[in-house]
């Protein structure tokens, strides 16, 4: 798919229904970050209400959604960092997830290591960081499944570091009323599938469904990720993300 064919009509003609359960990773303290600042549940509730007043208004199409589902849409205009299918400070947000927790972990590990790539003087954390994986159900009659496209059609869209082609694609997709984009992960060594949710209307449930707890440990050897239930462990060596030019010259010894 070249940029010349990125018309709304061309994309709509290649769309199809898509349903399923997909996983997203968040830092575990998302639900207890204010607990250590207060002495009771009542005080915590008051603090949470005060913080809520400082946040952007909830978009009308996010009404009734759990905050973990609405967050990427609520803060898109305040987010100066672009992503594969979202330009910096875009009005419309994108909720990213993965078909399997392992793929979501690979994506999370990559972005954690990118922080250290850009901060070579920062020492490795002494302890493993805890993360929550949660699943969401999605359904749309208009989804674009890039995993079924020929490699040559998506090579630019899946560039490890240059997101311009993907951002242009998502804009045309929105014009066509496409709500989901399924695509191969470039971080997962097994090339599992990721999902970009372009609109809250594609959520089939208003709250997360399944949950898992993961711990990710980073050091000079790479990264290790462990989940106790189900019992799963993953390892990412120093060369796991060498395909991304932003990882060139990574300072592993700190």
β-pairing, 222-227 vs 211-219, is antiparallel
- The per-residue pLDDT for range 106-147, each reduced to its tens digit, is 999 999 999 999 999 999 999 999 999 999 999 999 999 999
Which residue is listed with tokens 């967050």? Answer: 71
In a domain, 26, yes or no: yes
Determine, yes or no, domain membership for 128. yes
DSSP H helical segments within the chain, as ranges? 8-13, 41-53, 67-74, 101-117, 151-154, 164-175
pLDDT at 1: 47
The answer to whether residue 159 sits within a structural domain is yes
Secondary structure (3-state) at 36: helix
Residue 194 tokens, joined:
């990721």
Angle among Cα 221, 225, 226 to the nearest 5 degrees reads 135
Residue 59, domain extent: 3-247
pLDDT at 32: 61
Asked whether residue 127 is domain-assigned, the answer is: yes
Closest among 217, 206, 89 to 137, alpha carbons compared: 206
In-domain check, residue 253? no
How confident is the model at residue 31, as a pLDDT? 54
Domain count, the chain: 1
Residue 161 lies in a domain: yes
96 in Cβ contact with 177 (< 8 Å): no
Return the pLDDT at 52. 65
140-178 per-residue burial string, b: 16 or more CB within 10 A, e: under 16: bebbbbbeebeeeebebbbbbeebebbbbbbbbbbebbb
* Distance from C-alpha of 85 to C-alpha of 79, rounded to nearest angstrom: 13
pLDDT in the model for residue 77: 93
Q: Which of 227, 245, 252, 173 is nearest to 23 (CA)?
A: 227
Q: Are 211 and 133 in contact (CB under 8 A)?
A: yes
Strands (E), the chain: 16-27, 95-98, 129-145, 180-184, 193-197, 211-219, 222-227, 232-236
Q: What is the pLDDT of residue 6?
A: 78
At 45 the pLDDT is 74
In a domain, 252, yes or no: no
- Residue 90's nearest CA partner among 5, 170, 145 is 170
CB 98 within 8 A of CB 182: no
**Distance separating alpha carbons of residues 135 and 99, to the nearest angstrom:** 9
Q: Return d(Cα 233, Cα 112) in angstroms, integer.
A: 17
**Residue 149 belongs to a domain:** yes
Contacts of 119 (CB under 8 A, 6+ apart): none
Q: Which residue numbers in the chain have pLDDT < 50?
A: 1, 3
- 186 with 160: CB under 8 angstroms? yes
Please report the pLDDT score of residue 51 as a whole number.
67
- Cross-strand partners of 234: 225
């Amino acid at each position: 798919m070249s940029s010349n064919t990125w018309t709304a009509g061309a994309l709509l003609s290649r769309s199809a229904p898509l349903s399923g359960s997909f996983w997203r990773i968040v830092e575990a303290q998302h639900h207890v970050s204010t607990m250590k600042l207060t002495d009771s549940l009542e005080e915590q509730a008051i603090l949470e209400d005060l913080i809520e007043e400082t946040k952007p208004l909830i978009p009308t199409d996010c009404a009734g959604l759990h905050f973990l589902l609405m967050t990427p849409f609520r803060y898109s205009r305040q987010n100066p960092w672009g992503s594969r299918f979202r330009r910096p400070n875009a009005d419309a947000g994108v909720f990213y997830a993965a078909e399997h927790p392992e793929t979501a972990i690979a994506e999370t590990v990559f972005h954690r290591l990118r922080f250290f790539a850009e901060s070579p003087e920062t020492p490795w954390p002494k302890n493993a960081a805890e993360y929550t994986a949660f699943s969401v159900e999605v359904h749309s009659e208009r989804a674009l499944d890039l995993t079924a496209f020929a490699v040559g059609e998506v090579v630019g869209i899946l560039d490890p570091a240059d997101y311009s082609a993907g951002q242009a694609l998502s804009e045309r997709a929105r014009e066509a009323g496409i709500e989901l984009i399924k695509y191969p992960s470039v971080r997962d060594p097994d090339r599992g599938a990721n999902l970009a949710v372009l609109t809250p209307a594609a959520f089939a449930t208003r709250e997360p469904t399944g949950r898992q707890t993961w711990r990710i440990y980073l050091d000079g050897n790479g990264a290790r990720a462990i989940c106790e239930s189900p019992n799963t462990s993953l390892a990412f060596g120093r060369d796991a993300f060498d395909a991304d030019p932003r990882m060139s010259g990574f300072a592993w010894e700190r």
